[in-house]
Structure 1
């Protein structure tokens, strides 16, 4: 009974996080970034990409705010203490995969598994993605991965298919591949492509927590294997410390023999409900504390005439007037520098100038203002 409660609570948390992030990112895409967080500001991976720039230049890369680093810090703490618990208990992109996974199970009446000869090598692909994206992210001092990122594409779905494909050409395809893959295979993106999951997996190897199986009480029913989204053969192991384990607790929920499967931290058993409460407390408690202390920032400070911005800090959601104010530049001169006809209203956001000037690009505009 208690396991059913924890399982339900897990779904509630996953759904709540997904709904919140979806609403925020869609409002950001539809209305603008002054009041609503972008998908990048709500994803810890951007902090890894921005780490080099922060250390050596003292600045965040475009679209990254303090929230991203706080989320990274909190998820790192979780990974070190409770392994990949962020992946299994909170991650909204994981939730999307689970939703389509449940739909796929209803459609096909089963879940599929790739042959080991294909599955095992593919699992290393996410580590390649991790190192490649970090290398180019640090080298270019920008969100190099963004056009290839299915999560970023998801956050901009509201903009429509044409804009989506233009801004996220590969990311849009990978989002579709992830959805189709999730219909057939559990946690498709998590297993094969997620760089953040790869990073947490590396950290989880030094975590003092693990799941243990009591061979004396195990009845070898195989339910743990069947319910593991990472397809770990739990029933064949005495200790589960695989980097693939999401710590979703599904194997424990499904086990018919009480205490046969246990989550242990430093050798002491911890009930699934306790694990869930601690994980949620660390993650959301950390966000709450940093919000109260005004450290957690998901949107930029308002543009005022008292502060001059660098061209690199110009955002697509800013209006032409706001850009002129931020740069302390005459608005007529700004129109000339950006090659924008004066018939374009000054209240137009930079990202919307394209509807008046088809070849206008915000990135090009930044360069022309340097």
Structure 2
């Protein structure tokens, strides 16, 4: 993909071309998307090797695991357990705090872009959805992300009133992770159903509107996160390609709108809490107006 010669929108760019970036001087390199996909695959290979070959670097699954024997826990599952049983084991608390601290340093909701296995599949479906819209086979639909917070409350409430981890029955992230590690189960049919909805009804609707896992990271660590995308107002020509490829594109629009308040400031960190740090906006920007920014790096 050569973002300097073309506008790399969803409908105008082939999926596999986005894995290789052509720089200004014509050299080719792996895109941020390629590095993300490699990370997702590597994490689940380590899970698989732990279960099948007993190489215990990363044990368990995406919902709860141990890295070199150290506990890691999905923060939303910890909240579910607290709601369902009124108490949480110390190992779960330590695991959740460790994960939250990691994402506080390395990017708020970055779990969704860099670790979640369903995110990879959903991005493939997103491309197919864009093609169907371009051919007028289906309509473009966009839902308010307020629904994510509604479902977040409903899933926690269901755990509280039922005494059961209700969301984990339909959690496509956990279902896919367990499918990769342990093998087939009928639960994978639910994942297929969700994927088909994203193909033919609405772009990445699970991630954008329903999944409470990403919402938890958004609420707890996205705002104070040390790592965010930085936007350079002087470099930007407002072509809109970054908004097109971002499945939560209005956070970029919000940042640009807020920049009008400050006439002197030239660089702004993405202000929305839903950014997954997927880096797709960075990959497609033909003026290099977007980049990763870490406050710790500045201090050093």
- Please identify which structure carries the higher helix content: 1
Equivalent residues of 2:243, 2:253 under 8 A apart: yes
Partner in structure 2 of residue 234 of structure 1: 252
Is 1:13 the counterpart of 2:39? The answer is yes
SS in 2 for 1:179: helix
- Quick one: distance in 2 between partners of 1:25 and 1:112? 44
Is 1:94 the counterpart of 2:116? The answer is no
Partner in structure 1 of residue 10 of structure 2: none
- Quick one: distance in 2 between partners of 1:229 and 1:145? 23
- Quick one: distance in 1 between partners of 2:150 and 2:217? 14
Is 1:135 the counterpart of 2:157? The answer is yes
Equivalent residues of 2:148, 2:208 under 8 A apart: yes
Instruction: Count matched residues.
Output: 239
* Equivalent runs, 1:301-320 vs 2, <5 Å: none
With normalisation by structure 1, the TM-score equals 0.53
- Quick one: distance in 2 between partners of 1:97 and 1:232? 19
- Quick one: distance in 2 between partners of 1:172 and 1:25? 25
Q: Measured at CA, do residues 112 and 253 of structure 1 come closer, stay the same or move farther in structure 2, by a change above 3 Å?
A: farther
Equivalent residues of 1:232, 1:245 under 8 A apart: no
Please list the CA deviations of residues 27-52 of structure 1 after superposition, one character each: whole Å capped at 9, or x if unmatched: 8xxxxxxxx84664357132222245
With normalisation by structure 2, the TM-score equals 0.63
Partner in structure 2 of residue 41 of structure 1: 64
Q: Measured at CA, do residues 188 and 59 of structure 1 come closer, stay the same or move farther in structure 2, by a change above 3 Å?
A: same
Partner in structure 2 of residue 252 of structure 1: 282
Higher relative contact order (CA 8 A, sep 6+): 2
Give unmatched runs, 5+ long, in structure 1. Answer: 28-35, 61-65, 165-170, 271-370
Equivalent residues of 1:227, 1:251 under 8 A apart: yes
* Aligned-residue CA RMSD (Å): 3.8
- Quick one: distance in 1 between partners of 2:79 and 2:50? 20
Partner in structure 2 of residue 72 of structure 1: 96
Partner in structure 2 of residue 211 of structure 1: 229
- Quick one: distance in 2 between partners of 1:149 and 1:172? 12
Partner in structure 1 of residue 141 of structure 2: 114
Equivalent residues of 2:219, 2:273 under 8 A apart: yes
- Quick one: distance in 2 between partners of 1:196 and 1:53? 17
